[in-house]
Amino acid sequence: MIWRHLGRLIRPLIRWGSLVALTVFSLAACSLVEIEDAPLTTFEPAGPFAERIDAVFWQVFWIAVVIFVVVEGGILLIVLLFRDREGRKEPRQIHGNNKLEITWTIIPALILTVIAVPTIQGVFDLTECGDDAMPVEIIGHQWWFEYRYPDHGIESASVLAMPIDREVCAYMTSADVLHNYWVPHLMGKRYLVPGQETTLRLQADEPAEYWGHCAEFCGLSHSLMRARVISMTQADFDGWVAAQQQYAVPPAPDTPAETGLKVFQEQGCTQCHTVDYGPDYQGTNLVADEFFNGPNLTHFASRSVFAGAILPREGQSWSDGLREWLANPPKVKPGSFMPNLDLTHQEIEDLIAWLDTLK
Ligand code: CUA
């Protein structure tokens, strides 16, 4: 007896309690994500192509809001007005209504048409690169992005530099598996497909640094395959290009940097990594395989991030990031093609001294 009473008391408590808890948890999740902490937000377009996508999103969103209010409001109204009340007769029973059914088929069809026009137009406009766009080749690797500038004869990794107010046409492919290039502030996503070429338009309005991420599961360290885009004024970009076109400068004799270069050569790093000291350099041949390569390190120290744009970590110094990476790459990035070479503490320090010369 007492259990039945207790059950009657507790059941609604559990029902309403869990509903309230669920709502609170959902809302808490929203408030935890501050926009500054969300570098991959699509709600802060920073260039014309991202703005175009954003505009379509809000157009569809507000149409959906109006439909939601009308439909839900209508349901509430009907539930309240026609609810069962003391002494009310049973209403007339109806089966089927052609006029109504045709109406509620035509209205959604019209709404879909209204949404489809800007969407399809946008899809086509955002697919074809402009005629005077600056070409950049993006090659996906497990797990980092490589950038080649065919007009300037330079290569970079992890960081894409681009001038503001100028369209970049990315010609993309992959050296291994499917990847997907996504820098939400600048544009939507696009696949990188092995053996095929896809294009992506990118453009930024202001000088800034944007975050990107591989958006297709591509193996063990997919979640660690990030990208960084740095947009700069045309003058700064020209300066950057000029610096990247220089050969690397060989380290001075009898310095830790020279020892570091020897470690680099003796450990077989040149199998994958290129450091271009120019045609006059009288050392080991430092040109790696063209396609199945690791990042070109000629101007390694000029980049803000490395190792697929995951190092250095937030608050970590550049050298500490390198120490962590060189000590055991597969520990930082599981499955990494860069093996653990069991370098000694001294070898790591010498390598860092050498890498710092690659401005
Ligand atoms: Cu590359 Cu995911």
Name the percent of the chain in helix, strand, coil, to the closest 5: 40, 15, 40
Mean pLDDT computed over 3-24: 67
Strand order of the sheet with strand 134-141?
Answer: 154-157, 144-149, 134-141, 168-174, 198-202
Nearest-atom number in ligand 1 for the CA of 225 is 1
Residue 226: C-alpha distances to residues 51, 124, 155, 180 (Å): 22, 27, 18, 11
CA–centroid distance, residue 231 to ligand 1 (Å): 23
pTM: 0.83
**3-state SS assignment for residue 330:** helix
241: its two tokens: 């290009």
Nearest-atom number in ligand 1 for the CA of 177 is 1
Residue 199: C-alpha distances to residues 7, 128, 187 (Å): 63, 8, 12
282-313 per-position pLDDT tens digit: 765 555 556 668 899 999 999 999 999 999 99
Mean pLDDT computed over 99-120: 93
Mean pLDDT computed over 120-133: 92
331-334 long-range Cβ contacts below 8 angstroms, 24+ apart: 332/224, 332/307, 333/143, 333/221, 333/224, 333/307, 333/308, 334/220, 334/221, 334/224
What is the predicted pLDDT for the residue at 5? 62
Q: Contact 59/118 with Cβ under 8 angstroms? A: yes
Distance CA 134, CA 162 (A): 9
CA–centroid distance, residue 220 to ligand 1 (Å): 9
- Residue 87: which residues within 8 A CB-CB, separation 6 or more? none
CA–centroid distance, residue 194 to ligand 1 (Å): 12
At 277, the pLDDT band (50, 70, 90 cuts) reads confident
What is the predicted pLDDT for the residue at 29? 61
At 108, the pLDDT band (50, 70, 90 cuts) reads very high
* Residue percentage of the chain with pLDDT more than 70: 89
Mean pLDDT computed over 39-44: 89
139-181 per-position pLDDT tens digit: 999 999 999 999 999 999 999 999 999 999 999 999 999 999 9
220-239 per-position pLDDT tens digit: 999 999 999 999 999 999 99
Q: Which residues lie with the beta carbon below 6 Å from any ligand 1 atom?
A: 140, 143, 179, 214, 216-218, 222, 225
CA–centroid distance, residue 229 to ligand 1 (Å): 17
Distance CA 219, CA 177 (A): 8
48: its two tokens: 């014309």
Strands 144-149 and 154-157: what pairing? antiparallel
Residue 354: C-alpha distances to residues 249, 272, 289 (Å): 11, 17, 22
247: its two tokens: 């050969």
CA–centroid distance, residue 190 to ligand 1 (Å): 12
Nearest-atom number in ligand 1 for the CA of 215 is 2
What is the predicted pLDDT for the residue at 116? 94
Helix (H) or strand (E) holding 174, with range, is strand 168-174
Strands 168-174 and 134-141: what pairing? parallel
What is the predicted pLDDT for the residue at 164? 96
- Closest Cα to atom 1 of ligand 1: 179
pLDDT tops 90 at residue 85: no
Nearest-atom number in ligand 1 for the CA of 216 is 2
How many C-beta atoms surround the C-beta of residue 298 within 10 A? 23
CA–centroid distance, residue 283 to ligand 1 (Å): 36
List the end-to-end C-alpha distance of the chain, in Å, as a whole number.
82
Nearest-atom number in ligand 1 for the CA of 217 is 2
CA–centroid distance, residue 46 to ligand 1 (Å): 24
Residue 174: C-alpha distances to residues 143, 194, 213, 291 (Å): 11, 4, 15, 10
Residue with token string 């930024």: 204
| Residue 43 per-residue DSSP state | S
